[in-house]
């Protein structure tokens, strides 16, 4: 199945680039996680190009209707830019914009750079942890009279927040819009099960999921 192929390919790519690592890592919530994902390590031209292609495939597979892309500062800025390039290469030319952390009081001014926010706006980011970036993005988009169409992220950890829902589920509930991940914890587990050289990590990830995971993010 093509959809599963690109998800598994993405996990392989993230591991090969050392963006997805295994060991023992403390999360922001103070949990000891057996894996760590740092999208900031996609930090050269080749890896960004491939990453953008995965984002484009996830967007196409999702079927979400969008008129433009928005990249929240700071990590979302390059992600939205390269995803726009990848989509254009596939024949879907969408405008994009991003926000400044602080308003500019000279030149063009304001906090939004790039195309005017209009229509259905798809937010491009790396992950969703506390959901702060999404909330701010939704506020920018709505203030401009546009409509948040959804969020696309690289990896969904499918992990509970402070309550019973994951951060992704909370965003879907609070803003009534879809969150699409290039890959999720299910895909990571499938990777570990089929790769003998990484199978030693399967039990630790499964135990962590049993303790902190959610069933699904649909």
Chain mean pLDDT for the chain: 92
Query: Residues 192-203: what's their mean pLDDT?
Result: 94
Q: Active-site residue numbers?
A: 104, 106
* Length of the chain measured in residues: 218
Q: Say which residues have a Cβ less than 8 Å from residue 159's Cβ, sequence separation at least 6.
A: 166, 167, 185, 209, 212, 213, 214
Q: Which residues pair with 177 in a beta bridge?
A: none
pLDDT digit string, tens, across residues 139-186: 999 999 999 999 999 999 999 987 899 999 999 999 999 999 999 999
Q: Answer positive or negative: Cα dihedral of 65, 56, 77, 124.
A: positive
Nearest to 128 by CA among 195, 186, 174: 174
Domain assignment present for 217: no
Query: Residues 190-205: what's their mean pLDDT?
Result: 94
Domain around 189? 2-212
Element housing 113 (H / E) = strand 110-114
How high is the pLDDT of residue 131?
A: 78
Domain assignment present for 156: yes
User: Is it true that the peptide bond before 74 is cis, omega within 30 degrees of 0?
Assistant: yes
The overall pTM is greater than 0.95: no
Res. 52: pLDDT tops 90: yes
pLDDT digit string, tens, across residues 105-134: 544 547 899 999 999 999 999 999 877 889
pLDDT digit string, tens, across residues 85-96: 999 999 999 999
Q: Please measure the distance between the N-terminal and C-terminal CA atoms of the chain and give it in whole angstroms.
A: 20
Number of domains in the chain: 1
Domain assignment present for 84: yes
Domain assignment present for 218: no
Angle made by CA atoms 154, 22, 55, in degrees to the nearest 5: 10
CATH code of the domain in which 182 resides: 3.40.50.2020
Query: Are the beta carbons of 49 and 16 closer than 8 angstroms?
Result: no
Q: Which residues pair with 112 in a beta bridge?
A: 99
Q: Say which residues have a Cβ less than 8 Å from residue 144's Cβ, sequence separation at least 6.
A: 112, 116, 117, 118
Res. 104: pLDDT tops 50: yes
Domain assignment present for 55: yes
Q: How many CA atoms lie within 13 A of 51 on its CB side?
A: 29
């Amino acid at each position: 199945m093509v959809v599963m192929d690109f998800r598994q390919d993405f996990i392989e790519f993230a591991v090969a680039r050392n963006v997805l690592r295994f060991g023992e890592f403390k999360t922001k919530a103070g949990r000891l996680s057996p894996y760590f994902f740092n999208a900031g390590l996609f930090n050269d031209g080749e890896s960004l190009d491939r990453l953008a292609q995965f984002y484009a495939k996830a967007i196409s597979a999702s079927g979400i209707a969008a008129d433009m892309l928005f990249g929240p500062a700071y990590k979302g800025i390059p992600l939205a830019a390269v995803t726009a390039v990848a989509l254009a290469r596939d024949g879907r030319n969408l405008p994009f914009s991003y926000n400044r952390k602080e308003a500019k009081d000279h030149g063009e001014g304001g906090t939004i750079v790039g195309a005017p926010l209009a229509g259905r706006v798809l937010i491009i980011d790396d992950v969703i942890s506390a959901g702060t970036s999404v909330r701010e993005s939704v506020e920018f988009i709505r203030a401009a009279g546009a409509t948040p169409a959804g969020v696309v992220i690289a990896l969904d950890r499918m992990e509970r927040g402070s309550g019973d829902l994951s951060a992704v589920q909370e965003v879907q509930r609070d803003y009534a819009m879809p969150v699409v991940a290039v890959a999720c914890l299910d895909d990571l587990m499938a990777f570990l099960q089929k790769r003998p050289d990484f199978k030693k990590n399967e039990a630790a990830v499964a135990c962590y999921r049993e303790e902190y995971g959610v069933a699904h993010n649909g």
